[in-house]
Chains A and B, each alone.
Chain A
C-alpha cells in the first residue's frame, strides 16, 4: 500500500470535485480518496499491485485538469 498525493491546478467549481472524486474512486485498487477542493489536492491510498500514481494522474488529466506534482509514500 502507498499513500498518493496529487497537487492539481486550482479547482474552481465544486462539481469538478465530485467528478474527480468519482473518477479516481472508480479505479481498481484505490481507497480513501479525498479531494481537497480549496487546496487543489487529491489524496488516496493505492494498492501498488493494481494501480500506480501515474495512472491516477492520467485519469485526472483525462478529465481536463492539470496535475502539477505527484508524491508517493510507502505505508506498511
Chain B
C-alpha cells in the first residue's frame, strides 16, 4: 500500500493522461463507431484508474482524522459508479486529477520568486585545512571558526570575517544592491554574496540557516505561510465546511432518497477555490516583494500595511543617509591654499564634520597639505594652533569671537545663510582673519522625494518626520520633501509617544526607521518598517524589512500590499460566487456532477491566474538569474 502510494503519486500525471485517452476513446466509439460496449468499458477503466489515487489520498487523510476534499470526491465517484453513471465518474476523476496537475504547475509559478532566491543559497565550500590544503565540503559540514577559501567569481558560502586577501563583493542577494563593495581583512562578508574579483580567506562566524541570507530565506518562507486574517478565517471555515458538505450530502439522500442528487452535492460542495484563493494571493505578493528586496512578514503585515494612512519617518539614517557632506564653501583669499590648510587641520580630527571636509577637499584634487603648528582642542569650539609664523583657528563662531577674529558684514551674511539652511558651519581663520565658511550637512537620500510622493499618490494621507535633530535642520529637510508634519528635538521615547498619539487619533501608523535606536517605535507602530542593510535588530523587530535603504522600495511595498489585499478579496469573491452559482445551477437543474467539477476546476485556475498578476509587478531590481549565472 505504501509503495503503491508513492508509485501513484509519482505517476499521477501519466495516469491522468491515460484517463484522458480512455475518455476520448469512449466518446469516439460511442458517437462515431456506435460501439456502446467499448464506450462503457473505456469509461469503467478510466473511472477505476482515476479513483485509485484520489481514494488513497482520502484514506491517508482519514487515518489522520482529516476529512479532505478527496474524500468527498471519492464517495461521489464510487456512488456514481454503483448506480452505473460511468461517464460521470470518469469525467469527475479526470477533471479532479487534471485540475490538480494544473494547480501544481501554476502554483509553482506563484512560488517562483522565492524559489529563485533559495536557489542562490550556497551549497559547497572550499575548506582550508590546518596544513594549508583545501578540500570541497558541503556547507552543512562547516562549523564556526572554520576557514574557507573563496576564489574570484566564487560565492561566499558562510557569514564570516575576511582574514586574508581583499576583493569586491556583490551583495545583491542580501541588500539588493549590485554595485560591488570593496572588502578587506577584518571586514564582514555574507553568505550568498559573490566575489567580483580577488581571492579571500574567510573565518566562519555562522553557517546555513544562521547566516543573514539563511534568515532572510527562512523569514520569507514562513511569511508566505503566515496568512492574513481573511485567509485564516477561510482556512478555519474550510476545516468545518468540508465535513459539513459530507453531512449535507447524507441528509439530502436521507430526505429526498435521491442518490444521484446527494452525490452531486458532494462534488459541488468541494471547497476548491475557497481554500486556495486567499493564500495564493499572499504567496504571489510576498514573493514579488522578496524579489525586490522587500521582506514582508506574512499576511498580517501585508494586510495592516495596506490600511496604513500615517507614515512616520525618522530623519537621520532614514530620510538622510546619515553621512555628512560639505554643502557649500565661501572662500576669502587663495582658495586652494585655504582648503589645503583646512584639510590638514581636519585630518587630525575624527569628528564626522572633519571627515566630511577632508573628503571634500580630496575630491577637489587638493592633495598637498601644508605643515602646521601643533593643535589644541578647545572644547565645544574647535581647534587652534600657533607657531612663530602664524596662528590658525578652525571651529564655530564662538571660537572666532573668543579670539577676536574680525568678521565682515559679507562674511556674517554667508554664515547666516548656511545656518538658515540648517547646516553645521565650520569656520577657519588665519592670523585673526576669517578665510573660510564651510557648510556641512547630512545628505538627503536621492529618491526620498519621489518615493514619498509616490506613497502619497498611492493613497497615504499623512507623512510625519520625527527627529532628534534641531528644528532648523529638521525644517530644512522637510521643506524639500512632501512632508506634512515635523517634530524636532525628540528623544527616542518621545518618538514612541507621537506614534501612540497618532494611533489614539484613529490612524493606522507605519514607522520607518533603521532599527538601531528606534526599535521601540518600530514595535509600537501598527507596522514597523526596518530600513537598512539587514541588521539583526531590524529583522526581528520590524514587520517589513527593506534590505536596501530606498524610498522607491518603500513606495513599491505599499502599493504591493494594497494590491495583494485587493487580490485576496477578489479571489474570495470568485470562490464564494462559484459555489453560490453552482448551487443555483443545481436547483434550477442545469448543473450535473461532471459540469460541476468542471466549473470548480476552472474557478481554481481563475484564482491562481488572478494571483499571478501580482508576480509580474515591477521586479528588475534584483536579477537573480544574472547572479546565478555569475555564481556558476
Give A residues with C-beta under 8 Å from B. Answer: 5, 10, 12-15, 18-19, 22-23, 26, 34, 36-39, 41, 61-66, 71, 73
Contacts and interface: CB of A to CB of B under 8 A. Distances in A.
A22 B60 CA distance: 11
A10 B60 contact: no
A19 B66 contact: yes
Given A12-B100, A19-B66, A41 B56 contact: no
A38 B64 contact: no
B5 A62 contact: yes
Interface string B58-72: 001100111011100
Identify whether the interface residues of A are mostly helix, strand, loop, or mixed. Answer: mixed
Contact of A15 (B8, B68, B114, B222): B68
A61 B107 CA distance: 22
Interface string B208-226: 1100000000000110110
Interface stretch (B163-171, B275-283, B434-442): B275-283
A34 B68 CA distance: 20
Given A14-B279, A36-B225, A38-B283, A63 B60 contact: yes
A41 to B, nearest CB: 7
A5 B306 CA distance: 33
A15 B2 CA distance: 19
Interface of B: 2, 5-6, 8-10, 56-57, 60-61, 64-66, 68-70, 100, 103-104, 107-108, 111, 114, 118, 140, 208-209, 221-222, 224-225, 235, 238-239, 275-276, 279, 283
Contacts of B118: 39
A70 to B, nearest CB: 11
Contacts of B108: 10
A27 to B, nearest CB: 12
A65 B12 CA distance: 12
B61 A15 contact: yes
B596 to A, nearest CB: 19
A73 B209 CA distance: 10
B539 to A, nearest CB: 18
Contacts of B140: 71
Contacts of B8: 64
Nearest to A12: B104
A61 B6 contact: yes
Contact of A19 (B6, B10, B64): B64
A63 B56 CA distance: 9
B5 A64 contact: yes
B65 A22 contact: yes
B221 A38 contact: yes
A26 B61 CA distance: 14
Contacts of A34: 222
Q: Which 10 A-B pairs have the closest CB atoms?
A: A64-B5, A39-B221, A38-B224, A15-B68, A22-B64, A12-B104, A64-B9, A19-B61, A14-B275, A19-B64
Contact of A38 (B2, B100, B114, B235): B114
B225 A37 contact: yes
B66 A10 contact: no
A38 B61 contact: no
21 contacts: A10-B104, A13-B68, A13-B103, A14-B235, A14-B276, A15-B61, A18-B61, A18-B239, A22-B64, A22-B66, A26-B64, A36-B222, A38-B111, A39-B114, A39-B118, A62-B60, A63-B5, A64-B6, A64-B56, A64-B60, A65-B9
With most chain B CB atoms within 10 A of its CB, the pick from A37, A38, A41, A64 is A38
Contacts of A37: 224-225, 279
Residue among B60, B140, B238 with the highest chain A CB neighbour number at 10 A: B60
B66 A12 contact: no
A39 B64 contact: no
A63 B8 CA distance: 12
B224 A15 contact: no
Contacts of A12: 100, 103-104, 107
Nearest to A23: B64
Contacts of B111: 10, 38-39
B71 to A, nearest CB: 9
Nearest to A61: B6
Given A18-B66, A22-B64, A38-B111, 5 more contacts: A15-B61, A15-B68, A18-B61, A18-B64, A66-B6
A19 B208 CA distance: 28
Contacts of B239: 18
B285 to A, nearest CB: 12
B250 to A, nearest CB: 20
A46 to B, nearest CB: 16
Nearest to A65: B9
A21 B389 CA distance: 83
A23 to B, nearest CB: 5
Nearest to B222: A36
Nearest to A38: B224
A15 B111 CA distance: 18
Contacts of B221: 36, 38-39, 41
Contacts of B103: 12-13
A10 B5 contact: no
